[in-house]
Amino acid sequence: KLSDIRIVPNPYNIKDPLLLGYVLDENNRRISFYNLPSEVTIKIFTESGNLVKTINHNPLNRVGSIDWDMLTDNQQAIASGLYIAHFETPSGDTAYQKFLVVR
């Protein structure tokens, strides 16, 4: 169910000492989406409605999670602010969730 999807961490605060053990890449940024259906498209928008990233989740092994390095489709790091994640399955089911990024 799309209502089971979780965005972690939320809020994302780069200065949070608990994140030091969580981040994986050299740029110290990562947001994870958990409990995803086997096929889903995630579109991430700014609060003003600008599309910054599209992620197609269709893993061969059907794992229900994916990590995002917080880079836009143009390979730019996202700024602090409120973001909206739009989830859509191939059958047309949709859901929205908000998450906050603090740098």
**pLDDT per residue as tens digits for the range 68-96:** 999 999 999 999 999 999 999 999 999 99
pTM of the model: 0.86
Three-state secondary structure string covering the chain: CHHHCEEECCCEECCCHHHHHCCCCCCCCCEEEECCCCCEEEEEEECCCCEEEEEEECCCCCCCCEEECCECCCCCECCCEEEEEEEECCCCCEEEEEEEEEC
**pLDDT per residue as tens digits for the range 34-77:** 999 989 999 999 999 999 999 999 877 667 899 999 999 999 99
